[in-house]
């Protein structure tokens, strides 16, 4: 053996020996559906966690959109390459909760008990807690980025038109023409299935599917065409579109938001999380509760469903990894992190203790934008469940998109459109029920 | 002629093994998987699996949106194949006649071929966006173009995006085809016929038939399968699902809707369609083509 080779071996041995003796931190993989600004916020949280302790290391990976991430992690799960924790959105909640019995998802509540995490169920805002809980109220997902639909208003336009922010759709009808006359688009909306369908039902305390929104029994049909209030709302929307009070820019989220960002529209219905991209771009805007028809609720205001996503614990990892993961979950729910996230992203703070902290430091006086989301989600008095458990919902949303377009373009009547949607949804619900 | 043969019986298998392994893993296994998915009902995670016969086929094919996607796909294939072939041919003939700077023209015309369909879609997005798009505002001024709302305008949008990408591929093959035509034939035709138009259709074009036939098949498979990325980055099926091709629908149902059974059934139907088209072409069209 020549000398150079010997020296090489010695060098390699030396390098290995000089490696730190303490064990490498446990890697915790987290797949999420945040991109752009929101992704940098997640990375910042990961950095804070990694700096705060050295037992585990959080590695967040952005997998694109919420739809992409669901497909990506299911493929990974089937291949046994899944992460420890995954972020899955509202429409995927039924899919995830159904997987508890197959052992894919570990319920958050069980894991918190098992690994002795400081966990107070009552600290979570009930609307947020129940959306990702099973029918017995056991928390399955870890509420994290909770948004809801809100109304953004361009205050400069309102001033120019001499009108105020409306609380109800009746009030909106009273001012829409003035805004139009001032040369602006009165209203835009970015997600017909989410805002003007699912959340229409919760905002007006109406059931959206049979089986008590799927909480009591596997739903077999949606109740769109059977709900006169809902049909009236969409007939109004069509009327507004024809009058130029509402502008429909197709189904894409961004296309409907763009005129508001460009300062051409007075109101835009979007997500609480849209705030992070809007701040500093739109000069003078306010964030408000989504309007409702006071004639339909008797003047009462009901909460909307939670939007956004929750984090779900996946099976197939070691005990030490879960112990570390639960500590991380505890960290992510601390008032400080919640408030940081709330402030940066516009998502709701999911615990009362975070809201208390915010109040204590006078956060909402400094940033009134952040008030609406928590207020709207904390409204009480609903008699319907705080969510819906309907399978194949991502596809049902597709059916809604298509029929909404046909209604708005006048190809079919509003009533016919929702009848078609009910029929399409019933088929998809039956298809899902077969796999349970 | 002396026959060349391997002495050992196993050596040839050794040499083809890597290729066979690739085909097995990336072609045959997925096909087997597609068949099992198509005939079973299961949830997204593969649980609750049971054999369900033709249930998935009935579910997928009885859907009104399936028929619509089917019709659109046929239209899509015809339009794209026709326009991309004819434009490719036109450009190839012109480039073949150019004397100065020939290679520059060729290089520039070949470029788009290297672009992935999804990137083509994103690029087309810029041209057709309501706020930024040059083509959007150009067409909008002409007839009130609005693909967000109007089905035919949405068709135009995806047709242009998908055709543009394929023109360069057709261009390369036609140009190569033109260069294989023997000079004496062209020279002889120059003496016999004055009209370059007639010369092209009676001499050059028939001699290009093998290339044309090959390109038609390539273009059909392109517009059938490869345009998934273009649809996904342009209209996403807008206005209301009218621009969904069969592949896009299968993709959406399988990977967004997480219904692998229905997606598998749709894939098998597509396989059959392509099989029929190909058999038809080889039987009825190829017989009428003369190779040199």
Q: Do A251 and B42 touch (CB under 8 A)?
A: no
Q: How many CA atoms, within 13 angstroms, populate the side-chain half-sphere of residue A105?
A: 29
Q: What span, in angstroms and rounded, lies between the C-alpha atoms of A288 and A294? A: 16
Q: Which residues of A211-237 are buried (b: 16+ CB within 10 A; e: fewer)?
A: bebbbeebbebbbbbebeebbebbebb
pLDDT tens figures, A376-397 = 888 888 899 888 889 889 889 9
Q: Which one of B236, B239, B255 has the shortest CB-CB distance to A71?
A: B255
> Does residue B239 have a cis bond before it (omega within 30 degrees)?
yes
Q: What is the pLDDT of residues B179-219, one digit of tens each?
A: 888 888 888 888 888 888 888 888 888 889 888 988 988 89
Across chain A, mean pLDDT equals 90
Q: Where residue A172 falls among pLDDT bands split at 50, 70, 90?
A: very high
Q: At a CB cut-off of 8 Å and minimum separation 6, what does A100 contact?
A: A106, A107, A134, A140
Q: Are strands A26-32 and A56-62 parallel, antiparallel or unpaired?
A: parallel
Q: Which CATH number fits domain A25-147+306-378: 3.30.450.40, 3.30.200.20, 3.40.190.10, 1.10.150.20?
A: 3.40.190.10
Whether the per-residue pLDDT at B74 is higher than 60: the answer is yes
Mean predicted confidence (pLDDT) in A270-294: 89
Nearest chain A alpha carbon to B48: A435
Token pair, residue B114, equals 């290297």
Residue B3 has pLDDT above 70, yes or no: no
Tokens representing B98? 């150019």
- At B4 the pLDDT is 66
Indicate yes or no: CB of B258 within 8 angstroms of CB of A95.
Answer: yes
CB contact under 8 A, A78 and B47: no
DSSP secondary structure of A242-289: HHTSB----S-HHHHHHHHHTT-EEEEEEEGGGHHHHTTTSSSEEEEP
User: Do A1 and A295 contact (CB within 8 A), yes or no?
Assistant: no
Mutate to test the interface with A, among B37, B42, B43 (most CBs of A within 10 A): B43
Establish if A264 touches chain B: CB-CB under 8 angstroms.
no
Q: How far is CA A128 from the centre of its chain?
A: 10
What percent of chain A has pLDDT above 70? 95
Whether B269 contacts B253, CB under 8 Å: no
Predicted local confidence at residue A19, as pLDDT: 53
CA distance linking residue A128 with residue A334, whole number of Å: 16
**What is d(CA A375, CA B99) in angstroms, rounded to the nearest whole number?**
74
Instruction: Measure the CA dihedral A210/A213/A217/A219, to 10°.
Output: 50
- Cα-to-chain-centroid distance, residue A420: 27
Task: Output the CATH code of domain A149-304+391-433.
Answer: 3.40.190.10
Q: Which ranges in chain A are annotated with CATH 3.40.190.10? A: 25-147+306-378, 149-304+391-433
CA distance to partner chain A, nearest, from residue B158 (Å): 16
Read off the pLDDT band of B68 (50, 70, 90). Answer: very high
Stated as kind and residue range, the H or E segment containing A70 is helix A66-78
Q: What is the DSSP string of A136-180?
A: T--B-SEEEEEE-EEEEEEHHHHHHHT----SBHHHHHHHHHHHH
Nearest residue in B to A400, CA atom? B240
User: pLDDT of B38-58, one tens digit each?
Assistant: 999 888 888 888 898 899 999
- What pLDDT does residue A9 have? 67
Chain B interface includes A185 (CB < 8 A): no
State whether B238 and A71 contact (CB < 8 Å): no
Q: Where are the domains of chain B?
A: 68-288
Under a CB-based contact definition with an 8 Å cutoff, are residues A149 and A191 in contact? yes
Smallest Cβ–Cβ distance between A74 and the set B45, B130, B237 belongs to B45
Question: Does the beta-carbon distance from B47 to A77 stay under 8 Å?
Answer: no
Confidence band of A246 (pLDDT split at 50, 70, 90): very high
Q: What are residue A204's phi and psi, to 5 degrees?
A: -110, 15
The complex's ipTM works out to 0.78
Q: What does the pLDDT average to over B240-251?
A: 91
pLDDT, mean of residues A309-338: 92
β-pairing verdict for A285-288 and A26-32? unpaired
DSSP state at residue B116: -
Across residues A68-88, what is the average pLDDT? Answer: 91
- How many Cβ atoms are within 10 Å of B117's Cβ, its own excluded? 21
Q: CATH code for B68-288?
A: 1.10.3720.10
Distance, CA of A173 to CA of B238 (rounded, Å): 29
Q: Which residue of chain B comes nearest to A425, CA vs CA?
A: B63
Give the one of A406, A431, A436 whose C-beta lies nearest to B240's C-beta. Answer: A406
Percent of chain B with pLDDT over 90: 42
User: Could you give the CA distance from residue B27 to residue B79 in angstroms, rounded to a whole number?
Assistant: 29
User: What does chain B come to in residues?
Assistant: 292
Do the Cβ atoms of B59 and A406 come within 8 Å?
no
- Using the Cβ of B125 and the Cβ atoms of chain A, whether some distance falls under 8 Å is answered with no
pLDDT digits (tens, 9 = 90+) for A27-71: 999 999 998 888 999 999 999 999 999 899 999 999 988 888 988
- Residue A208 sits at the vertex; the CA angle it makes with A203 and A214, to the nearest 5 degrees, is 120
Assess A3–B contact: CB distance below 8 Å, yes or no.
no
Average the pLDDT over A212-234 and give the result. 94
pLDDT band at A15 (very low <50, low <70, confident <90, very high): low
| Distance, CA of A196 to CA of B116 (rounded, Å) | 37
CB-based contact, A104 to chain B, within 8 Å: yes
Select from A277, A275, A299, A300 the least CA-distant residue to A288. Answer: A275
pLDDT score at A76: 93
- Contact list in A for residue B148 (CB cut-off 8 A) is 248-250, 255
Closest-CA distance, B28 to chain A, in angstroms, reads 18
Name which of B43, B238, B256 is nearest A251 (Cβ-Cβ): B238
Task: Give the pLDDT of residue A109.
Answer: 92
Q: For A260-280, what is the mean pLDDT?
A: 90
Q: For B116, what's the count of Cα atoms within 13 Å in the CB-facing half-sphere?
A: 7
Mean pLDDT of A176-203: 95
- The CA distance from B187 to B101, in Å, is 23
Does B288 have pLDDT greater than 70? no
Dump pLDDT digits (tens) for A388-423: 889 889 889 989 999 999 999 888 999 999 999 999
Chain pair A-B, CB pairs under 8 angstroms = 90
Q: Is it the case that residue A194 has pLDDT exceeding 90? A: yes
B13-20 contacts at long range (C-beta below 8 A, 24 or more positions apart):
none
**Are B244 and B252 in contact, with CB atoms under 8 Å apart?**
yes
B14 Cβ neighbours under 8 A, 6+ residues apart: none
- CB contact, 8 Å: A247 with chain B? no
């Amino acid at each position: 053996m020549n000398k150079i080779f010997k020296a090489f071996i010695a060098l390699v041995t030396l390098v290995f020996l000089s490696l730190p003796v303490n064990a490498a931190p446990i890697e915790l993989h987290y797949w999420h559906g945040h991109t752009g600004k929101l992704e940098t916020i997640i990375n910042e949280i990961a950095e804070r966690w990694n700096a705060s302790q050295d037992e585990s290391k959080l590695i967040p990976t952005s997998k694109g959109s919420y739809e992409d991430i669901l497909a990506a992690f299911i493929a990974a799960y089937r291949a046994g390459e899944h992460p420890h924790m995954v972020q899955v959105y509202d429409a995927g909640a039924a899919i995830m909760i159904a997987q508890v019995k197959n052992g894919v998802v570990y319920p958050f509540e069980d894991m918190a008990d098992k690994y002795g995490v400081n966990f107070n169920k009552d600290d979570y805002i009930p609307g947020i807690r129940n959306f990702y809980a099973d029918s017995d109220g056991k928390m399955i997902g870890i509420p994290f980025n909770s948004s809801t639909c809100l109304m953004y208003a361009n205050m400069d336009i309102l001033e120019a038109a001499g009108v105020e922010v409306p609380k109800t759709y009746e009030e909106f009808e009273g001012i829409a023409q003035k805004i139009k006359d001032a040369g602006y688009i009165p209203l835009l909306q970015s997600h017909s299935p989410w805002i003007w369908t699912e959340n229409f039902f919760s905002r007006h305390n109406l059931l959206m599917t049979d089986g008590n929104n799927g909480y009591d029994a596997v739903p077999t049909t949606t109740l769109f065409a059977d709900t006169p209030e809902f049909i009236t709302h969409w007939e109004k929307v069509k009327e507004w579109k024809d009058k130029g009070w509402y502008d429909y820019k197709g189904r894409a989220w961004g296309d409907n938001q763009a005129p508001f960002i460009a300062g051409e529209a007075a109101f835009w219905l979007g997500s609480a999380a849209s705030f992070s991209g809007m701040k500093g771009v739109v000069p003078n805007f306010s964030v408000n509760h989504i309007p409702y028809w006071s004639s339909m609720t008797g003047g009462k205001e009901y909460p909307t469903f939670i939007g956004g996503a929750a984090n779900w614990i996946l099976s197939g990892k070691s005990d030490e990894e879960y112990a570390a993961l639960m500590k991380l979950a505890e960290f992510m729910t601390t008032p400080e992190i919640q408030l940081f996230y709330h402030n940066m992203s516009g998502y709701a703070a999911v615990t009362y203790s975070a809201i208390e902290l915010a109040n204590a430091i006078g956060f909402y006086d400094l940033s009134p934008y952040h008030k609406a989301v928590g207020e709207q989600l904390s409204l009480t008095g609903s008699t319907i469940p705080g969510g819906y458990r309907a399978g194949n919902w991502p596809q049902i949303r597709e059916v809604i998109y298509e029929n909404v377009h046909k209604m708005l373009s006048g190809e079919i009547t509003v009533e016919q459109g929702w009848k078609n949607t009910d029929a399409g949804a019933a088929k998809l619900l039956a298809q899902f029920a077969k796999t349970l | 002629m002396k026959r060349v043969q391997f002495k050992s019986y196993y050596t040839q298998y050794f040499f083809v093994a890597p290729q066979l392994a690739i085909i097995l893993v990336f072609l045959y296994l997925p096909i087997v998987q597609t068949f099992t998915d198509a005939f079973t009902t299961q949830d997204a995670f593969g649980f609750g699996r049971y054999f369900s016969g033709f249930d998935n086929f009935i579910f997928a094919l009885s859907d009104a949106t399936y028929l619509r996607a089917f019709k659109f796909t046929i239209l899509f294939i015809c339009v794209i194949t026709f326009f991309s072939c004819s434009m490719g041919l036109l450009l190839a003939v012109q480039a073949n006649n150019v004397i100065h700077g020939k290679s520059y023209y060729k290089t520039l015309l070949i470029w788009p071929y290297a672009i992935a369909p999804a990137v083509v879609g994103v690029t087309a997005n810029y041209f057709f966006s309501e706020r930024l798009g040059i083509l959007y505002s150009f067409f909008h001024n002409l007839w009130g173009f609005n693909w967000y709302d109007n089905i035919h305008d949405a068709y135009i949008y995806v047709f242009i995006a998908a055709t543009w990408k394929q023109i360069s591929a057709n261009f390369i093959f036609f140009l190569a085809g033109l260069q294989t035509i023997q000079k004496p034939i062209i020279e002889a035709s120059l003496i016999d016929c004055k009209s370059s138009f007639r010369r092209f259709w009676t001499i050059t074009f028939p001699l290009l038939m093998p290339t044309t036939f090959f390109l038609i098949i390539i273009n059909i498979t392109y517009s059938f399968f490869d345009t998934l990325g273009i649809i996904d980055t342009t209209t996403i099926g807008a206005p209301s699902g009218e621009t969904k091709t069969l592949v896009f629908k299968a993709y959406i149902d399988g990977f967004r809707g997480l219904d692998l059974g229905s997606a598998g059934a749709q894939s098998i139907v597509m396989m059959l369609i392509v099989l029929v088209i190909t058999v038809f072409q080889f039987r009825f069209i190829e017989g009428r083509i003369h190779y040199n």
